[in-house]
Amino acid sequence: MFDDKFDPKPDANPEEPAAEGVSEQQSESRPELELPEIPAPQPAAPPAVLYDPPRFEPRAREKQSGRGRGWKLVAGAVALVMLSAAVSSGSTYYLMKQHLAAQPANYQQAAPITSIQPVSQTVAEVGASVIPEIYRRVAPAVVSVDVEGGFGYYRTRGSGSGFVVDPEGYILTNYHVIENARRITVEFLDGTTLQAQVVGTDRTSDLAVLKVDPGDKALVAVTLGDSDEVQVGELAIAIGNPYGHDFTVTAGIISALGREIVERTTSIPGAIQTDAAINPGNSGGPLLNSRGEVIGVNTAIEAPSQFSGNVGLGFAVPINTAKAILPTLMAGETVERPYLGVYLGDVDEWYARVLGLEAAEGAVVLSVVPGTAAEEAGLRSAEYDRLDRLISADVIVAVDGQKVTDSSALVARILQYKVGDEVELTVVRDGERLTMKATLGARPEE
């Protein structure tokens, strides 16, 4: 490592002073004694250490050599690999060092019983192993939905996706896919095309059920899973008809849960968010888990503009929401949604300060719809002065004793009831905590 060289051995003929009383002649005639060389004492072997952490020594000045740039590139690549290994084990080294510092010098530690192991497979590896089989089993139950609407010169065309939920010919899709449709055609993976009729719709959850006559064709239905068991990070698979590219499969993960899809006539609490590629035409198609079970109905994407495609923000209606109303839709009956009859806002810091609330939580009642359960229970619309400054407002903070954090939580809570159920509302008004009882009505048709 170092350039300095030295010989640790003593000189072969060291000079020694002549003894007193001995003549120079005698000194010359006496043969010279040759003493055996005494080896230098060797340092004692250091005790075995349990763990020897890496040491960093100062590097000697490099000497000029004939190695070219290619050698440096190779050395750099090797160093990069070593650095990656060092980074990946850095935390382990630190923990071991801190732990061993408190042990006796010759302490022999037994092998740990348990240790954190790296993930055996990445999401991509898991997906690559199961997606082909899932596609083979599920794709025959998926359909592309082609829609024609309007009349004469005002005809429109659109497309979406759907999937068979009953071998008798019932297909689940999104309401917005078949809204105002005059003619609906579905196509299966084997190329079979059938005419479909709408038998049931629910605008609030953006779901619809179609019916086809399979004739001699044996239809395959999907397996409906349990969206309440879905976990963030698990595999998500979408099959659909994006931009008319029939039976396209994409995959990603479950990015988040409990999102809310809110449009003018649609309110879907608890929506599933995924980064699996979902584009126009995927609407109504299934979102699957790693077992091939349907956990959601692909419904919407969030994009910078209407001309943008997928940016990794896709949303699906939880399949449990669909399962709750499927029998009603398949029977051609109207789905009745419980309705309180209020327009709401979220309590933020401003509302909390103006209304004198203890915390920025709850759903503030902005307006009460006349003749609804809210009005009958005693809820009031927000009051403002002549300068449009807020004076007073009711804030709903709990339903049947369960805390309400914001307006979305209140909507989700109300949707768990049925029409005609009585609920107890905890309301804060002008600093006073009130209890009101409301009998939920049916949501009116928009």
Q: Give the pLDDT score at 267.
A: 75
4 is catalytic: no
Token output for 55: 């040491």
Amino acid at 332: G
Q: Are 201 and 208 in contact (CB under 8 A)?
A: yes
Average confidence (pLDDT) over 354-371: 94
How far is it, in rounded angstroms, from Cα 414 to Cα 439? 11
Hey, is 155 helix, strand or coil? coil
pLDDT over threshold 80, residue 54: no
Q: How far does CA 414 lie from the centroid of its chain?
A: 27
List the catalytic residue out of 227, 267, 283, 407.
283
Place of tokens 């068991």: 229
Query: 28-37, 339-348, 383-392, 393-402: which range is least confident on average?
Result: 28-37
List the catalytic residue out of 144, 146, 176, 202.
176
Q: Give the pLDDT score at 269.
A: 78
283 is catalytic: yes
List the catalytic residue out of 146, 202, 206, 275.
206
Give me the architecture of the 128-330 domain, per CATH.
Beta Barrel (2.40)
How far is it, in rounded angstroms, from Cα 283 to Cα 294? 14
Q: What percent of the chain has pLDDT over 70?
A: 70
Q: Are 337 and 343 in contact (CB under 8 A)?
A: no
pLDDT over threshold 80, residue 421: yes
Nearest by Cα to 390 from 353, 433, 427: 353
Look at the alpha carbons of 19, 24, 29, 34 in this order and tell me if their dihedral is positive or negative: positive
- End-to-end Cα separation, the chain, in angstroms: 85
Q: Give the pLDDT score at 266.
A: 76
How far is it, in rounded angstroms, from Cα 171 to Cα 182? 17
Note the helical H segments in 23-144: 24-29, 69-100, 123-138
Query: 6-10, 217-221, 301-305, 377-381: which range is least confident on average?
Result: 6-10
The residue with greater pLDDT, 88 or 159, is 159
The secondary element (H helix, E strand) that includes residue 179 is none
Summary mean pLDDT of the chain? 78
CA distances from 160 to 180, 194, 252 (A): 14, 15, 20
Token output for 39: 């080896």
pLDDT over threshold 60, residue 272: yes
Domain boundaries, the chain: 128-330, 338-442
Buried b (16+ CB within 10 A) or exposed e, 369-382: beebbbbebebebb
pLDDT over threshold 70, residue 110: no
Place of tokens 């988040």: 256
Each residue's pLDDT tens digit, 2-28: 444 444 444 444 444 444 444 444 444
CA distances from 153 to 150, 192, 374 (A): 8, 29, 46
Alpha-carbon dihedral 214, 215, 217, 221, rounded to 10 degrees:
30
Note the helical H segments in 356-401: 373-377
Q: Are 412 and 262 in contact (CB under 8 A)?
A: no
Which residues does residue 390 pair with via DSSP β-bridges, in sequence order?
384
Look at the alpha carbons of 67, 68, 73, 76 in this order and tell me if their dihedral is positive or negative: positive
pLDDT over threshold 70, residue 120: no
Token output for 346: 């979220």
Average confidence (pLDDT) over 57-69: 43
246 is catalytic: no
**What does pTM read for this prediction?**
0.62
Q: What percent of the chain has pLDDT over 90?
A: 55
Q: Give the pLDDT score at 60.
A: 42
How far is it, in rounded angstroms, from Cα 47 to Cα 49? 6
Average confidence (pLDDT) over 279-286: 92
Query: Would you place residue 156 in the very low, low, confident or very high pLDDT band (cuts 50, 70, 90)?
Result: confident
Q: Give the pLDDT score at 353.
A: 93
338-442 maps to which CATH number? Answer: 2.30.42.10
Average confidence (pLDDT) over 325-341: 91
